[in-house]
Chains A and B, each alone.
Chain A
Amino acid sequence: MNIDPSQGNAAAFLHRYDGLAERLPGATIPAVRALRDAAAGTLRAGGLPSRRVEAWRYTDLAPMLRAEFREALTAVDGAVAMPVPRADRRAVFVDGRFRADLSSLDGLVAASLAEVIETVAGRLNTVASASQPMVTLNTLLFEDGLVLEVPEGVDAGRLELLSVASGETASTVHPRHLVRLGRGARLVLLETALSTAGARHLHNPVFEIEVAPEAKLTHVRVQRESASAYHLAHLGVRVEEGGTYDGFVLNAGGRISRSETHLALLGPRAAAHLNGAQLVAEGQLADMTTALDHAAPNCASRQTVKTVLAGRSRGVFQGKILVRREAQKTDGYQMNQALLLSEEAEIDSKPQLEIYADDVKCSHGATAGALDADSLFYLRARGIPADTARSMLVRAFLQEAVEVVEDEPARDALEEAVSAWWDQHGGVA
Chain B
Amino acid sequence: MLRIENLTAEIDGKEILKGITLEVPDGEVHAIMGPNGAGKSTLSYALAGREGYEITGGSVTLNGQDLLEMEPEERAAAGLFLAFQYPVELPGVGNANFLRTALNAIRRTRGDAELDAMQFLKVARARMKELSMPEDMLKRGVNVGFSGGEKKRNEVLQMALLQPKVAIMDETDSGLDIDALRIVADGVNALRGPGFSALVITHYQRLLNHIVPDRVHVLADGRIVTSGGPELAHRLEAEGYAGVLDEAA
Contact = CB atoms under 8 A, between A and B. Distances in A.
Physical contact A–B (CB less than 8 Å): yes
Nearest to B99: A382
Interface string B54-89: 000000000000000001110111000010100110
B36 interface: no
A380 B90 contact: no
A381 interface: yes
Given A380-B73, A383-B73, A388 B105 contact: yes
Contacts of A385: 73, 105
B17 interface: no
Q: Chain A interface residue count: which class?
A: 20 to 34
Q: Chain B interface residue count: which class?
A: 20 to 34
A382 B92 contact: no
Contact of A382 (B49, B97, B102): B102
A381 to B, nearest CB: 5
B120 interface: no
Contact of A381 (B72, B91, B98): B72
A69 B73 CA distance: 52
Residue with the greatest number of chain B CB neighbours at <10 A, chosen from A372, A377, A393, A398: A377
Contacts of B93: 392-393, 396, 399
A24 B217 CA distance: 86
Contacts of B76: 380-384
A378 B84 contact: yes
A53 interface: no
A395 B49 CA distance: 25
B101 A388 contact: yes
A373 B162 CA distance: 22
Interface of B: 48-51, 71-73, 75-77, 82, 84, 87-88, 90-93, 97-98, 101-103, 105-106, 109, 141, 158, 162
Given A378-B88, A384-B105, 17 more contacts: A374-B88, A378-B84, A378-B87, A379-B98, A380-B73, A380-B76, A381-B50, A382-B73, A382-B98, A382-B102, A384-B101, A384-B102, A385-B105, A386-B71, A392-B97, A393-B93, A396-B90
The 6 closest A-B pairs by CB, nearest first: A396-B92, A383-B76, A380-B72, A382-B102, A383-B106, A396-B93
Interface of A: 372-375, 377-386, 388-389, 392-393, 395-400, 403
